[in-house]
Amino acid sequence: MDLAPLSPNEPPPPHTPRRGRMRLALGVLALALGFGVLEAMQGRARYQSVPWELFWPEAMIRTLPSWVMLAVLLPVVLWVSERVRIARSTWPLALPLHTAAGVAFVFVHIGLSCALGTVLRHSPEHSLEQAFRSMFAGYAVVGFFTYACLVAAHHAFRAQAEAYEREAASRELQAGLTRAQLQALRSQLDPHFLFNALNSISVMALQGERETVVRLIAGLGDVLRMSLDGDGAPEVPLRAELELLERYLELERVRFGDRLTVERHIEPGLGDALVPSLVLQPLVENAIRHGIAPRRGPGRVLVQVRRAGTQLQLEVRDDGIGFSPERSREGIGLANTRERLRQLYGAAQSMVLGRAPEGGAAVTVSIPHHTLPAGPAANAADRS
């Protein structure tokens, strides 16, 4: 069967696991050869009188077979170490098994190394039995220690990998819990806002304000559409939050008419700053409901957003009656806003309730200033 060549635009085939294992095996073998050469160079200090042309062949034959066979046996050692784990509950059985495996490793490693060295020498003077006895006498303890070090290193790397996996799973679980909590808080805000809007519409309907009721219903539809169009993300660009707030204020202007004035002071260049979704609407609603509505005359609400160093400050002030003892108790809007800020930013946020210079109430929210990273995700957010 003929295989069509790849076109220049086609990506190369992905690396198969077999190719990855082959590269790893070649890397281990190359490392073993390197250690063999280093050991041979170290022996040169003891045989300086031997000519180079005579020293190097013998030195390489003495050192390389042991390192090469160690690289060959390494996968077997790791396989045994993976299946015979030394833990608090398994060590009474694992230690004897590893002791037996270590002894077997010494015999097999020495036997294979001597066999390879005998083949490389091509000399009948050096028998395999003699080479085995000589290497066993000088290498048995070192070989067993080598096996123990390999098992210990494998256990250490395995424990580190498992600890990292547990930490990653814990972070993912915490992130999932945070998302669930944020979604629960958001789900409380939506019906709270809808209830207040429907209550206003019912009041206008009882007063016979048909045109006002129609405008309120249309405005409520716009607000709900904008709210439901989102994907439930905990943060949105400031410009999107301000647009949603403007739709909400259209509803309130229908209710209050000339009694309500809303001013917006937004520092230029902050449209891309990320803020919690539905963060301004509950604050403005609280200012209108508790600061402006109880008054007989007109009232003013100020929405101000500015950057202070690394923080983004969102402030909502009114010139109403201020924080009375009844108003000091946080309702659903303020309480949920405070909790969402804590979930999103931890100790890097604050929400302060105080008195405005105009005599009314002021709520100031401070969060870390950050934006969407540049790239496809940011472009997609701009298009939406």
Per-residue pLDDT tens over the stretch 242-301: 988 888 888 788 778 888 999 999 999 999 999 988 889 888 988 888 888 887 888 999
What local confidence, expressed as pLDDT, does residue 313 receive? 96
Per-residue pLDDT tens over the stretch 112-149: 888 887 777 665 556 777 778 877 887 888 888 888 88
146 versus 181: the higher-pLDDT residue is 146
Cα torsion through 211, 214, 219, 222, rounded to 10: -150
Answer yes or no: is pLDDT of 180 > 90. Answer: no
107 versus 166: the higher-pLDDT residue is 107
Is-contact 28 74, C-beta < 8 A?
Answer: yes
> For residue 82, how many other CB atoms are within 10 A of its CB?
12
What local confidence, expressed as pLDDT, does residue 235 receive? 85
What local confidence, expressed as pLDDT, does residue 58 receive? 63
Range scoring the smallest mean pLDDT among 22-26, 204-208, 315-319:
22-26
DSSP per residue, 77-119? HHHHHHHS---TTTHHHHHHHHHHHHHHHHHHHHHHHHHHHHH
> For residue 275, how many other CB atoms are within 10 A of its CB?
24
Instruction: State the average pLDDT over residues 310-332.
Output: 77
Instruction: State the average pLDDT over residues 90-116.
Output: 86
What local confidence, expressed as pLDDT, does residue 5 receive? 41
Q: How far apart are CA 354 and CA 182, in angstroms?
A: 26
Alpha carbon of residue 373 to chain centroid: 15
Is-contact 340 349, C-beta < 8 A?
Answer: no
State which amino acid sits at residue 257.
G
Interhelix angle 128-206/280-287, nearest 10 degrees: 30
| CB-neighbour burial class of residue 106 (10 A; exposed 0-12, middle 13-18, buried 19+) | buried
Q: Which is nearest to 101 in space by CA: 130, 78, 120?
A: 78
Answer yes or no: is pLDDT of 310 > 60. Answer: yes
Q: What is the pTM of this model?
A: 0.51
How crowded is the C-beta side of 19, counted as CA atoms within 13 Å? Answer: 4
Average pLDDT, the chain: 76
What local confidence, expressed as pLDDT, does residue 242 receive? 93
